[in-house]
Amino acid sequence: MGMKHAWLTWLLLAGLVVVFTGARVLEGIEWLHLPLIILGSGAVLTAAVWRVAVWRGTEGAGRSVEAVFALGYAGCALALAGYVPGTEGGLELLGVEFEGVRDEIRFRRFFLVASPILLGASLFPVLGAQWALAKGGTRGALLVDAMRVRETVANTLSVALAGSTLMLIGYIASALNQTADFSYFKTATPGESVREIVRNMDGTLDAALFFPEVNAVKDEVRNYLDELSRATGKVTIAEYDRYANPEAAADYNARSDDGQLFLRFDGRTEQIGFLLDLDDARGRLRILDSYVQQALLQLNRSRRFAYLTKGHGEFNDPISADEPEPDEPPSLREPWRPGMENEFDQGPPPRVLREMLDFLNYEVRDIGIGEGLGERIPDDAAMVMILGPQHAFLDAEMNSIRNYLDRGGSLLVAMEPGSEFQLEELRDHLGVEYNPAMTIDDQRFLPGNPPTIADRRFIITNRFSTHPSVTTAGRSGNEIVMIGPGSFTVADSVPGLRTNLIINSMPSSYADLNGDYRFDEGTEVQDRYGLAAAIEWVGIDAAADSANPDTPEDTRQPGMRALLYGDAEMFADLVLAFPLNGSVVADGIRWLGGEEDFAGEVVSEEDVPIQHTQSENVAWFYAIIFGAPALVMGVGIFILYGRRKVAPGEPESEEVSS
């Protein structure tokens, strides 16, 4: 049986090693290369013939074991023979000719792939069977040995076939130039805002890709552009090679590096760069939609200016604010001063708002009494922002604001309860009245850590109007956070204005008149409160003029727009980090700038880190350290005792006869 002829297996293995050495290791040595292949092939063929002869002369239970060896040896010899047509020398030896090179490559490739598979499926079972007999091999135990050999052969054959399958998958993947990545990754798709910008362009957007011919990053960017083209019908896409198309490279100034996307419209060009390795480019691809939106905004119009007032304790000028009273709740106002130099300082606050304005193609400028706020707001001001002023404006400054509104300017005012700033001085221009009492909610609010009663000022709401300044929030149906905002009501006595309360509180909210963070029945009312308002000058109707002689003369220029927020802290960096809060502010800026058609969602596939409080981290720690082992132990005990249960009517034990 197999143990008596184990030397044949060693002869087979030695022959295969000699063939491999001659064909691969010593391939360049002509005088040694061919003799080794002939010697090794002869050893393999001798072992196979001898093994077949042993199988034919064996009877009984040993015959099934010898059949395994005979088939395995024959398979190894056939695999070596199949390798010959896969080589150039083998084709010459066989005298096979082909009409084309492609046919020859396909023919050789078949044998080069099939031969190793057959060799592995033959050699592994032989080695496994030989090992099984070495572990057994007792006299008079042929049935046991045969069973052991069959089990081992089946297992080793499974391993060989699994390895062959992996080899085929790798070959197919390399041939098709496809990769598989099971980690979370998805390139952002064109969002609603980008689609609207392209649709509103008076012409076609040209997109030029300068990438290597075969590149995974290029494929992702091309998919994005193809979808944008299908959605808008106004995008033309071209792919270039810098070396094969030097004229296009010179036209787009793409002579330095590959991995560039150029967007061109109306003679202006914007560039977006990418790393060529997919793993390195993932971060940018996840937020590709935001990069494209920024480039399109810069292509669609020239850069505008947004002026932030200063000198009154605004969010962007906290140095001019007095220190808060000891009994006031903590504020998100940042204690920044000019000249702060440390690793955490990244410029004046609010940083996220400034970055957002830059992204929307606005240049931010601060304006105070020294920069002409008390005289005249510059004509190049696309909008003026007054963010949480703590002190009242001078009469000259307020007159400058009124004059700016009369000229059709855009104004954003974010109030804070307890401020000395008087919104009533702009009542005739804005048509709203402001209640500085904090709007709080003891049912719908964000609890702090540790929770306190003051957390009721962190109210949440999803009550949005259909106004363009809250387009994204209204469509999402989700909630935003506002921190102790004041409230607005519409004044009916100001003609020529269109006023909308664009954000309202939940019905469970109330104005905290005495500041105790508790609902006082009888003096306080639970209701929906207007937390933000949008005002637009539409002009006094001519018919109203003739019907009412007392109607004031319409001397204002058209185009005036204003946004009023009862909460200035919603412009703080921590609050704008909430995605929907950021969308509300961004849509408001677009509306103020007359770009409400560009409002909408910006798609991002960026991973958002999951954050836990300290108590949640402690709970997760103990759950992993103790909970997981306890769960595994419990399942094991359940299975163990479940096996020991005896069904009714069955004997407790049963002898097994051999």
Q: How does residue 157 score in pLDDT terms, banded at 50, 70 and 90?
A: confident
Average of per-residue pLDDT across 175-185: 54
Please state the rounded mean pLDDT for residues 573-580. 87
| pLDDT of 422 | 87
Question: Residue 613: what residue type?
Answer: T
Per-residue pLDDT, 385? 96
**So where are the chain's domains?**
6-176, 192-300, 304-598, 616-644
pLDDT (tens digit per residue) in 444-466 = 898 887 888 988 999 999 999 99
Q: What whole-number distance in Å separates Cα of residue 24 and Cα of residue 36? A: 11
Confidence of residue 147 (pLDDT cuts 50, 70, 90): confident
pLDDT at residue 600, as a whole number: 62
pLDDT of residue 504: 95
Nearest to 483 by CA among 580, 415, 579: 415
- Residue predicted with more confidence, 181 or 499: 499
Mean pLDDT of 217-234: 91
pLDDT tens figures, 336-346: 455 444 444 45
Taking CB atoms within 8 Å and a gap of at least 24, the contacts of 149-157 are 149/2, 149/65, 149/68, 150/64, 150/68, 152/128, 153/68, 153/125, 153/128, 153/129, 155/128, 156/124, 156/125, 156/127, 156/128, 157/121, 157/124, 157/125
Least confident segment among 32-36, 379-383, 466-470, 577-581: 32-36
Mean pLDDT computed over 68-76 = 89
570: pLDDT strictly greater than 50: yes
> pLDDT tens digits for 248-270?
888 998 877 889 999 999 888 99
pLDDT at 329 over 50: yes
Fold exhibited by the domain 304-598: Rossmann fold (3.40.50)
| pLDDT value at residue 612 | 47
| Model-wide pTM > 0.85 | no
Lowest mean pLDDT among 14-18, 40-44, 644-648: 644-648
Question: Alpha helix (H) ranges present in 278-394?
Answer: 278-286, 288-300, 351-359
Which of the listed ranges 249-258, 267-276, 533-542 does the model predict with the highest average pLDDT? 267-276
- Residue 429 clears pLDDT 50, i.e. is over it: yes
CA 545 and chain centroid, separation: 57
pLDDT of 489 higher than 70 = yes
Beta-carbon count within 10 A of 141 CB: 13
Pick the CATH number of 192-300 from 3.40.30.10, 1.10.3210.10, 3.40.50.10070, 3.90.1170.30: 3.40.30.10
350 or 541, which is more confident: 350
Mean pLDDT of 428-444: 91
Q: What is the 3-state secondary structure (H, E, C) of 170-234?
A: HHHHHHHCCCCCCCCCCCCCCCHHHHHHHHCCCCCEEEEEECCCCCHHHHHHHHHHHHHHHHHCC
Pick the closest to residue 576 from 591, 592, 561, 565 (CA basis). 565
Rg, the chain, Cα only: 40
